[in-house]
Chain A
Amino acid sequence: MLAAGDALALWVSVKLALITTVILLLLCTPLAWWLARRFRPGQALLESLLALPLVLPPTVLGFYLLLFLGPDGPGGWLGPLLNRPGLAFSFAGLVIGSVVYSLPFVLQPLKNAFAAIDNDVLDMAAAAGASPLDRFFSVVLPLARPGYLSAAVLGFAHTLGEFGVVLMIGGSIAGETRVASVALYEHVEAGDYASAQRLALVLVVMSLALLWAVFRWQKKARGPL
């Protein structure tokens, strides 16, 4: 029912969202822990900086990333690592852009989940002989599970819906940087409303299914008290 080009764009979107979410969960775990447990000097400035993508127009972010990742930008050295002149207009560049753009959506739920963990419980784990790493896996991770779920869903969904940043740094190279939201925009530009309808419907159904699965799972996991 979808044209081959649209299916490919959808696949690029999903791949981008998955990779970005995994990277963000790994990156934000230590960061959120560091931010959640104690107030540190310079923390307010750092947190403002990390929350900037929430308020900035995506095109502003995309513009700076374009300059940063271009062959002559400060991040230009990243390109040759992947045998390219620069990472602008590449899938790797899109991943970097998405990580920056979706970071606050993953960081915040993790930070809240960590902050809600009772210090006494962690102290008891230490007294029971659990090392810091052991405490993280045996107490923090299970207690922060709902936070991780929210973080993963928000990060994934937000990356899937991204448009402005992608347009600025990715362009629309089929199979590489042409994601579903960009493909949809191009259909509308070309007056092909029928294709646009189909693609839009698939995106709506996918997002709905994802959210529905999560809400169901959360209800089950909470269980009767």
Chain B
Amino acid sequence: MSLCLDIALRRGAFELSVQGTLPERGVTILFGESGAGKSSLLRAVAGLEPCQGRIEFDGERWQGRAGTLLAHRRPVGLMLQKPALFPHLDVIGNLRYAARRAPVSAERWEEVLELLSLAPLLSRRVQGLSGGEASRVALGRALLSAPRLLLLDEPLAALDQARRQTLMAVIGQVAKTIPVLYVSHHLDEVLTLGEHLWWLRDGALAAQGEVNDVLAGPGSPLAEHRDAAVVLRTRHLRYEPEHHLLVLALGASEMRVPASGPGGDTPRLRVAARDVSLTLSPASDSSVLNILPAIVDDVRTLPEGQCLVRLRCEQQWLLARLSSYSRDRLRLAPGSRVHAQIKAAALV
């Protein structure tokens, strides 16, 4: 386990008390309403906010009874919502600032410039950069400090959708080798990037674990969200170019999703609760591509005649949002055997 936390900090009336363990790699989303203490927690991990308790990383003691490892000695890369570039340096100066103080090889330098398309910006003044450019430089600077842990505090909040996608892809790439703790209150970022989820509420972790377990598992606070969705982990089987369809394995079942190319080995599928409908027998005459056997685990009543059905499907959670009328007509109850028709699934 990479990062082990057992910390408490107090600012006026606000109290934060967190016990958690970060997986060795992958993106862990630190999710919560504003004021839940997300940024304070991140700053405490970086060593920028004094706190009590214990922080360990890869067996190294960052904080404990023996004292605190100062911020500049912690191998973290940090990026905030505001790029906070050094205003007295140009772009290359900002990047070198980090690279000079870390063990960064010439190859890694080139790699980061390539990854974020920074080469054309190098001689620019930071005051003249657009929001997207400044964010790329800030992420580049964080990566060039040779981090063993990447801490991101709503890094994409100020960007438009297209630029978010680009940077999210880069962050996903980085997360293949080091753990990333990513503060967000966007469900979209959770579904696209998150493999693990820390749900922070009122200064404490209300839930932590695999993203789907937190999103859809028992007692999930997110399941009732208007855009509630799950992320299914699948295996790549084949690509059918004549239909522009990707065939994926979900347990023993097959799924087909529209795709322009073969894609990666372990595609993640995002399925929104409102795109799932249920039938009692498998419809053989439906235009819906994906119909999977599932067992009802729980039925929750929502306002305005709606209800949310949690299903177990090939050992993964699936959510379906139905009208209460349909629930009564199909007599859905925990244990019911149904077939889930997935009307749309998007690769993430």
Interface string of B265-294 (1 = CB under 8 A from A): 000000000000000000000000000000
Interface string of A10-37 (1 = CB under 8 A from B): 0000000000000000000000000000
* Given contact pairs A123-B78, A225-B127, A128 touches B97 in the complex (Cβ within 8 A): yes
The interface residues of chain A lying within 8 Å CB-to-CB of B97 are: 125, 128, 130, 138
Kindly state the separation between the CA atoms of A127 and B74 in the bound complex, as whole angstroms.
Answer: 8
Kindly state the separation between the CA atoms of A123 and B47 in the bound complex, as whole angstroms.
Answer: 10
The interface residues of chain B lying within 8 Å CB-to-CB of A135 are: 72
Kindly state the separation between the CA atoms of A129 and B46 in the bound complex, as whole angstroms.
Answer: 11
* Given contact pairs A120-B80, A138-B97, A225-B127, A127 touches B86 in the complex (Cβ within 8 A): no
CB < 8 Å neighbour of B47 from A125, A126, A131, A134: A126
The interface residues of chain A lying within 8 Å CB-to-CB of B151 are: 127
Which residues of chain B (64-94) have a CB below 8 Å from chain A? Answer: 70-74, 76-78, 80, 82, 84-88
Interface residue total, chain B, C-beta cutoff 8 A: 29
CB < 8 Å neighbour of B141 from A124, A126, A142: A124
Are A129 and B87 in contact, with the CB atoms below 8 A?
A: no
Are A121 and B86 in contact, with the CB atoms below 8 A?
A: yes
Interface string of A96-135 (1 = CB under 8 A from B): 0000000000000000000000101101111111111011
Most chain B CB within a 10 A radius of its CB, from A128, A130, A134, A143: A128
CB < 8 Å neighbour of B87 from A123, A130, A131, A143: A143
Does B212 interact with chain A (Cβ within 8 Å)?
no
Does B1 interact with chain A (Cβ within 8 Å)?
no
How far apart are B268's CB and chain A's nearest CB, in angstroms? 30
Closest partner residue, chain B, to A120 (CB atom): B84
Kindly state the separation between the CA atoms of A129 and B73 in the bound complex, as whole angstroms.
Answer: 6
CB < 8 Å neighbour of A127 from B78, B82, B88: B78
How far apart are A22's CB and chain B's nearest CB, in angstroms? 24
Where the two chains meet, the residues of B that have a C-beta atom closer than 8 Å to any C-beta of A are: 43, 46-48, 70-74, 76-78, 80, 82, 84-88, 97-98, 101-102, 127, 138, 141-142, 145, 151
Cross-chain pairs A/B with CB under 8 angstroms, 8 sampled? A125-B86, A126-B48, A126-B71, A127-B72, A127-B74, A127-B76, A128-B78, A143-B88
Where the two chains meet, the residues of A that have a C-beta atom closer than 8 Å to any C-beta of B are: 118, 120-121, 123-132, 134-135, 138-139, 142-143, 225
Query: In the complex, given contacts A121-B86, A127-B72, what are 18 additional A-B residue pairs having Cβ atoms less than 8 angstroms apart?
Result: A118-B84, A120-B84, A121-B85, A123-B48, A124-B78, A126-B71, A127-B46, A127-B48, A127-B142, A128-B101, A128-B141, A128-B145, A129-B101, A129-B102, A131-B70, A131-B72, A142-B88, A143-B87
